[in-house]
């Protein structure tokens, strides 16, 4: 195990991390996009993005795109490289406001979190479409880890914290249990060559209907490229 620092809330840090990783000339077989914040008060990343959208989604969008070439070089016909993004059941109630992705008009911590998790699902489906169109030996899937007993909930109301403390052993997953679906997506032989899936409890299931809107996927991708400052080569593809 080797540690490399990367702050997903900083575009500069992400680019520096990718430079460091590429300098090692290592293959990249699995990328798990797992960082996240939940219900934080309204605040911005150093790049001026609303924190849920900037860290949960845009950071992973940029990181994945900057590592795509390495992933494509690492995957083979029999062993695809794999990209796994961690979303949440909250995406089912999320709404993507393309005219106000930064939640500037009306900020709701819950709404901003749900939007960021919906964006990850839309991103995954569009990414898989592009990978398939390019004939790349890379798959992209999205997972719902369930409700996991971690420090993610430190910004919830104190009443919720008390209920969480009282019921954790009954209803919440441990970190190990929460990681199981991501691990399944990363290494399971059953997932070899399978992309564009939404996984929960190590099974393929249906995501929110809006996540399958291909026009919305395309528009979010294009807007995301503008926001993080990369070229939208995908705009030339169907």
Active-site amino acid positions: 113
DSSP symbol at 194: -
- Residue of 147, 120, 116 lying closest to 52 (CA atoms): 116
Q: Which two tokens stand for residue 201?
A: 């409890």
Q: Which two tokens stand for residue 207?
A: 């995501």
8 A C-beta contact, residue 86 and residue 56: no
Burial class, 116, CB count within 10 angstroms (exposed 0-12 / middle 13-18 / buried 19+): buried
8 A C-beta contact, residue 64 and residue 33: yes
- Residue of 3, 122, 112, 111 lying closest to 61 (CA atoms): 122
Q: Are strands 138-144 and 198-200 parallel, antiparallel or unpaired?
A: parallel
User: Which parts of the chain are beta strand (E)?
Assistant: 30-33, 81-86, 138-144, 198-200, 203-205
Strand order in the sheet with 198-200: 30-33, 81-86, 138-144, 198-200, 203-205
């Amino acid at each position: 195990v080797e540690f490399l620092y990367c702050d997903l809330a900083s575009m500069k840090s992400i680019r520096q991390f990718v430079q460091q990783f590429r300098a090692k000339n290592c293959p990249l077989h699995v990328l798990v996009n797992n960082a996240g914040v939940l219900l934080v008060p309204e605040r911005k990343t150093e790049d001026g993005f609303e924190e849920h959208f900037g860290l949960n989604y845009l950071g992973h969008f940029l990181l994945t795109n900057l590592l795509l070439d390495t992933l494509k070089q690492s995957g083979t016909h029999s062993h695809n490289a794999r990209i796994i993004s961690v979303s949440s059941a909250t995406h089912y109630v999320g709404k993507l406001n393309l005219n106000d992705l930064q939640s500037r008009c009306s900020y709701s911590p819950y709404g901003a979190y749900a939007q960021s998790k919906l964006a990850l699902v839309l991103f995954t489906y569009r990414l898989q479409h592009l990978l398939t169109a390019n004939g790349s030996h890379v798959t992209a899937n999205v997972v719902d880890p369930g409700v996991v007993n971690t420090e993610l909930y430190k910004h919830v109301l104190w009443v919720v914290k008390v209920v969480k403390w009282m019921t954790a052993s009954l209803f919440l997953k441990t970190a190990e249990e929460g990681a199981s679906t991501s691990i399944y997506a990363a290494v399971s032989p059953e997932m070899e060559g399978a992309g564009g899936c939404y996984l929960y409890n190590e099974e393929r299931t249906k995501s929110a209907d809006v996540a399958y809107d291909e026009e919305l996927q395309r528009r979010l991708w294009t807007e995301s490229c503008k926001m993080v400052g990369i070229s939208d080569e995908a705009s030339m593809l169907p």
